[in-house]
Structure 1
Amino acid sequence: MASTEFDFIIVGGGLSGLVLATRLTEDPDIKVLVIEAGNDLTSDPRVNVPAMWPQLQGTTSDWSFKTVPQKGMGGRMLEVPQGRMLGGSAALNGLNFVVSSKDNIDAWGADLGNGPGWNWEGLSKAFRKAYSLTTSGNIEKEGPVQVTIPEEDTKWPQVWRETFAGLEYDPTGNDDPFSGKNLGAVMRTRSFAGNAYFAQARSRSNLTLWTTTVVEKLVLEPSSTRVTATGVQYTKDSSETKTVNAGREVILTAGTFGSPKLLELSGIGEADLLKSLNIEPVIDNPHVGENLQNHPVCVLSFETDPANEEGFETLDKLTRQDPATLAAAMDAYSQKQRGPLSKTNCNAMAHVPLPGISTEEGKADLARLLNSTSTAAEKGKTPSAFAKKHEAFVHSILTNPRKASDGPDGRFAPPPSVSGDSGGHFTIGVMLSHPLSRGSCHLANTRGELAIDPNHLGHSLDVEILARHVQFLESVLVKSEPLASHIKTKRCAPRPEMGISDANEAKRFVRETAIGASHYTGTCSMMPRELGGVVDPALRVYGCGNLRVCDASIIPLMPRGNPMATVYGVAERAAEIIIAGL
């Protein structure tokens, strides 16, 4: 690996890095280098077989971060899986393709001063360049990523839809994800940036990929008028540090944790923090690493009724690795790519509003709640102007009975805590769609170790809203037909002894059992600097015109679900911006 000069150096071979590399090298005169810390596992069955998606977590292909103790969760430290391989977390996650809502995109786009290209009208066009959709025999071919509805070989998804319909929630059916509705897991094999985008580009002579190569810092040259990124310092297999130069730009696509880490290691961040770590500040921006957001999730699991087993098989035997069940599943997948290994266990989802918001009593209760939990009273580094905009957006969702504040998913599988039991389980995750809690990710030392503090449940409104959704699940949803006929409505995990019909008990349940969804965003937010921004609408780092960030870290208001689909759109939009400026 000689010090060849490339036009663009892309730091991070994850989702957005591979999308950008593919689009930029469509011009044969543009030379691009992609640097990835992990290995190329695009042919590994642990990546490609949908049901095997958890198998790489906790391995050398996972950065395996941990949070600091979370005050809002009783001091618990949470695991934070993050892909360390070609394709990044898109090769490690649960394959859910959940598009952000129009309201959300408009809020973090134009409403935050990011211009018309970042509102729904502009960004949805970029989204559509990323995927091809197959449903019910119809195919819409536009982008490389293949998206479809999972095959329904049990009756659980049908029961899920019918139960919500009986509660007067509109079913979505098998719709286009960009209608604002929802899709579940991809069927048969994983389609992601590594095998969808990069496969068509990797043989190009103007594209170079370095794997197992760690970028230590950016090479920045300050002058009296500006700062220029000239390249990066890197190590390969723990060897000596070398430098590679960029003729045009350096683009950080290292993810919500990796991108702010490299900015701070390179002298871009809060000056006092950098000085305390003996790092010379180059650009003083206290917003680097701030505005970290994530979805908190509570899990409730119920035993299934063995009297109603036909058509309602669960994945318990497969989870327990029952030899006969495992052999049958492997045979079905190897022969026709069908059966339980051809999909994840998340095949039933919903987006639901705040329980009771359609009633006068519910509206009055919410009004009291909003008045008593204002963000304006919070202390922290978040500029008050952004905090108020964030609060206004979340309040607009909560007060509208047509908007979703929770994204529950149903899985016919056990939670980890009961995986050794006999029998079957139906497990429901209750996820707060739009939390107000914000945290941070900063260097803990110059070795690159991070202090990750999402501040889960740090905002009291998050606890109140999540607790109400948990109560709705146990007191209404699982007692409604036809779901009620197929499960035992006594919870089995976690904390089966805790009652949650009382509001205070429900809030205690939330604080004691909630986990993070690993949907982290926001640490290099795209918005005006005075609001807390790190990058401008062209994704350029403030103060350094040829350094950009393009990954989930630039999203200032997190999407309602898994951010993967949104990041595909962000990367496509970034490619348009960069190419237009050449």
Structure 2
Amino acid sequence: MASPSGTFDFIIVGGGTAGLVLATRFSESPALGRVLVIEAGEDLTEDPRVNIPAMGAALMANSANWALAAVVQTGLKGRTASVPQGRMLGGSSAFNGFAFMPPSKSTVDMWAKLGNQGWDWSSFSKSMAQAYSAGAQGQGPIQLSIPNEEDWKWPAAWRDTLAGLGYPTTSNPYDNSGSCFGAILVGDSIDPDTKQRSYAGNAYYGQAKSRDSLTVWVGITIEKILFNKNKDNHGRVRAIGVQYKDENGQTKTVTADKEVILAAGAINSPKLLELSGIGDEAQLRLLQIPDIVVHNPFVGENLQNHVMCSLCFEVRPTKDRGYETTDSIIRQEPAALSAAMEAYGRQTGPLARSGTNAIALLPLPGIESEQGKQEILQILEKTVTLPGASAGDGKSRPFLKEQEDFVHRILSSPHEPSGHYITFSGFAVVAADGSIAGPPPGDERYYTIAPSLSHPLSRGSVHVSSASASSAPTIDPNYLSHPLDIEVLARHFQFAASRIASTEPLASHLTRKLGTSSDTTLDDFIHLDKTKEYLRNNATGAVHYVGSCSMMPRELGGVVDSKLRVYGCSNLRVCDASIVPIIPSCNIQATVYGVAEHGASLIMSDYI
């Protein structure tokens, strides 16, 4: 790392997924000038724990993870959970679960309908295609692998089961249609030639790090953004640089001639805005943050994440090849480990893939029937949001109606997914620390179906807890606080437990016994109330946080405009998952790359 000093044209705060995309694109054009990326974590681009797909979980328990935690969740019976966030070059793309699933056209078009001109599907999908390559589709640095089904039969069993239930099985996530539905085979962000993780740290930064116009500092903690408070003709202040602590704990500053861009993620970007005096003035003064730059009570609000819960079925014994599970590997049985390592040497087998490739995006169960339509109408009438029903609603009431109407349209359509079903050939339960819990003792094998709520209406918040940059923020996802969310998730969970698991060919491979420490049985999920109770006791959040610096008009609850400029600032932008106003229906990795590519084009167009 070069000695921290000097002046740059652009300062990018955060060398994670979005930050390295921005840096790579900016440094392709020398006319933009000098680009500085400041990352709190280290450069682990040569670390095998990053590059070998099966080793990513080892990074959860060290300094490569911010290791944050949510407050106690009332909707989850007083439970809490960690909030994993990548703290290294590449950010969370260096240890995520690999799934590269583009958002739906309906969701992205809804972003545009909120007032974000240029963020419709037609425009956004073109930017996203610049981020990845999946065979002949896409044209970007992130390389995707589609698993070989010849030696792994579970995806075919899943697909044929969904076909038997009447759902389509031919959706291609990478055809830019934005209309994936039914059973889907999702690609991994794993290079098909090397079988190593393909992520922002190697696929983007790897090609840019030798450029003279790009400087990257690692191990540097940003304390706040610095401003010239003399307002321009539009009443906006100007960002002039950042204040940071160097490796020796000394406070220093670095200046930006053109722009400061926050790309610190959905948790840390709002934190840095508030530390810099941009947020709810009354709350910032309570924390003795001295300089209030812009009053905006929406900073840190509208935090969204998916809620999910696993069903781990015991698998019937079989000698058929291709129906192996990962349980013996996780239990570190010598023969299984040896076979898996030998297969990885041939660039195949369970260590060369995520194992979560076979998914489904399904509508609300029963919506295709007249009875089902009437039931959802009754549910929607009963769960219309009342004032104070969810944390933060009082601050963003105008947006709440827009989001609620959108979700209601999704739920009322037999062709729009409200449930995201993830499968895994092994025991897979998300533990409280964000890791995947291992299988119970014994020699049983498992197959997991984990329904997830695609479009939650529960919205939380993330805010600074003190005026110190070293203090962890207060994170409240507010899971299952909106009454509609538990109704929808419970019905998808019931559908997985009863209909999917009992339909051939999957039914021939699964027993009716669940891998759980409780005395819960599949029969319990016949009852809606028992299912809801089980979910409140066992569901957890994914790591798909978005929305805390939402892109939409200020009067709707926006923090940034459609050009990603922070309201009240002429040259401070945010470009990461935090700007996404409505969460996509599934994993957000592809969305974040798309946001970064689209944002890079928008910013560069102001200078070139």
Q: Same fold (TM over 0.5)?
A: yes
Which residue, out of 191, 204, 208, partners 1:201? 208
Query: Are the structure 2 counterparts of residues 453 and 481 from structure 1 closer, same or farther at C-alpha, using a change threshold of 3 Å?
Result: same
Give the partner amino acid of 1:27: S
Cα distance in 1 between the residues matched to 2:81 and 2:19:
27
Structure 1 partner of 2:74: 71
1:195 is paired with a residue whose SS is: helix
Cα distance in 2 between the residues matched to 1:295 and 1:141:
27
1:470-515 Cα offsets, whole Å, 9 max, x none, are 1111111101111010011222226442512101001101111100
Residue pair 2:298, 2:396 contacting (<8 A) in 1 also: no
Offset of 1:198 from its aligned partner?
Answer: 1.1
Structure 2 partner of 1:226: 236
Which residue, out of 405, 408, 423, partners 1:410? 423
TM-score under structure 2 length normalisation = 0.92
Cα distance in 1 between the residues matched to 2:366 and 2:99:
28
Which residue, out of 169, 177, 197, partners 1:179? 177
Cα distance in 1 between the residues matched to 2:79 and 2:278:
30
Does residue 393 (structure 1) correspond to residue 406 (structure 2)? The answer is yes
Structure 2 partner of 1:118: 119
Structure 2 partner of 1:165: 163
1:358 is paired with a residue whose SS is: coil
1:182-233 Cα offsets, whole Å, 9 max, x none, are 5242452211111111111110001000011111111122125431111011
Give the partner amino acid of 2:533: R
Residue pair 1:441, 1:523 contacting (<8 A) in 2 also: yes
Residue pair 1:51, 1:345 contacting (<8 A) in 2 also: no
Structure 2 gap ranges (5+): 429-436
Query: Are the structure 2 counterparts of residues 238 and 66 from structure 1 closer, same or farther at C-alpha, using a change threshold of 3 Å?
Result: farther
Residue pair 1:297, 1:429 contacting (<8 A) in 2 also: yes
Cα distance in 1 between the residues matched to 2:4 and 2:507:
65
Residue pair 2:315, 2:510 contacting (<8 A) in 1 also: yes
Structure 2 partner of 1:442: 463
Which residue, out of 255, 279, 282, partners 1:269? 279
Does residue 191 (structure 1) correspond to residue 198 (structure 2)? The answer is yes
Cα distance in 1 between the residues matched to 2:17 and 2:93:
6
Cα distance in 2 between the residues matched to 1:338 and 1:405:
33
Which residue, out of 16, 19, 30, partners 2:18? 16
Give the partner amino acid of 1:444: S
Give the partner amino acid of 1:451: T
Structure 2 partner of 1:60: 63
Does residue 423 (structure 1) correspond to residue 434 (structure 2)? The answer is no
Offset of 1:420 from its aligned partner?
Answer: 3.0
Cα distance in 2 between the residues matched to 1:260 and 1:13:
16
Structure 1 gap ranges (5+): none
Query: Are the structure 2 counterparts of residues 544 and 494 from structure 1 closer, same or farther at C-alpha, using a change threshold of 3 Å?
Result: farther
Cα distance in 1 between the residues matched to 2:411 and 2:517:
27
Cα distance in 2 between the residues matched to 1:177 and 1:394:
25
Give the partner amino acid of 1:386: F
Residue pair 1:184, 1:349 contacting (<8 A) in 2 also: no
Structure 2 partner of 1:451: 474
Cα distance in 2 between the residues matched to 1:444 and 1:2:
28
Residue pair 2:129, 2:138 contacting (<8 A) in 1 also: no
Residue pair 1:412, 1:425 contacting (<8 A) in 2 also: yes
Structure 2 partner of 1:146: 143
Give the partner amino acid of 2:83: V
Give the partner amino acid of 1:96: A
Cα distance in 1 between the residues matched to 2:499 and 2:325:
23
Offset of 1:238 from its aligned partner?
Answer: 4.5
Which residue, out of 49, 62, 65, partners 2:52? 49
Cα distance in 2 between the residues matched to 1:197 and 1:252:
18
Residue pair 1:302, 1:493 contacting (<8 A) in 2 also: no
Residue pair 1:418, 1:493 contacting (<8 A) in 2 also: no
Which residue, out of 342, 346, 358, partners 2:356? 346
1:231 is paired with a residue whose SS is: strand
Cα distance in 2 between the residues matched to 1:388 and 1:433:
18
1:79-137 Cα offsets, whole Å, 9 max, x none, are 111100100011110000011000000011x210011x101011111011111112xxx
1:479 is paired with a residue whose SS is: coil
Offset of 1:444 from its aligned partner?
Answer: 1.1
2:525 is paired with a residue whose SS is: coil
Does residue 324 (structure 1) correspond to residue 335 (structure 2)? The answer is yes
Give the partner amino acid of 1:160: W
1:430 is paired with a residue whose SS is: strand
Offset of 1:36 from its aligned partner?
Answer: 0.6
Which stretch shifts more, 237-246 or 350-359?
237-246
Offset of 1:377 from its aligned partner?
Answer: 4.1
Offset of 1:411 from its aligned partner?
Answer: 0.5
Cα distance in 2 between the residues matched to 1:190 and 1:130:
15
Cα distance in 2 between the residues matched to 1:502 and 1:157:
29
Residue pair 1:39, 1:211 contacting (<8 A) in 2 also: yes
Does residue 461 (structure 1) correspond to residue 459 (structure 2)? The answer is no
Residue pair 2:137, 2:175 contacting (<8 A) in 1 also: no
Q: How does 1:32-47 map to 2 (within 5 A)?
A: 32-47=35-50
Offset of 1:141 from its aligned partner?
Answer: 5.5
Structure 2 partner of 1:95: 98
Give the partner amino acid of 2:598: R
Residue pair 1:269, 1:284 contacting (<8 A) in 2 also: yes
Give the partner amino acid of 2:132: Y
1:264-303 Cα offsets, whole Å, 9 max, x none, are 1110000011001101311100000000000000111011
Residue pair 1:149, 1:186 contacting (<8 A) in 2 also: no
Which stretch shifts more, 341-350 or 296-305?
341-350
1:196 is paired with a residue whose SS is: helix
1:410 is paired with a residue whose SS is: strand
1:408 is paired with a residue whose SS is: strand
Percent of pairs identical after alignment?
A: 50
Structure 2 partner of 1:381: 394
> How many pairs were matched up?
575
Which stretch shifts more, 542-551 or 215-224?
215-224
Query: Are the structure 2 counterparts of residues 458 and 27 from structure 1 closer, same or farther at C-alpha, using a change threshold of 3 Å?
Result: same
> Alpha carbon RMSD of aligned pairs, Å?
1.5
2:367 is paired with a residue whose SS is: coil
Which stretch shifts more, 262-271 or 125-134?
125-134
Does residue 286 (structure 1) correspond to residue 307 (structure 2)? The answer is no
Which residue, out of 312, 315, 338, partners 2:323? 312
Give the partner amino acid of 2:285: K
Does residue 6 (structure 1) correspond to residue 8 (structure 2)? The answer is yes
TM-score under structure 1 length normalisation = 0.96
Query: Are the structure 2 counterparts of residues 562 and 336 from structure 1 closer, same or farther at C-alpha, using a change threshold of 3 Å?
Result: same
Query: Are the structure 2 counterparts of residues 158 and 494 from structure 1 closer, same or farther at C-alpha, using a change threshold of 3 Å?
Result: farther
Cα distance in 1 between the residues matched to 2:517 and 2:313:
10
Cα distance in 1 between the residues matched to 2:258 and 2:519:
58
Cα distance in 1 between the residues matched to 2:11 and 2:91:
17
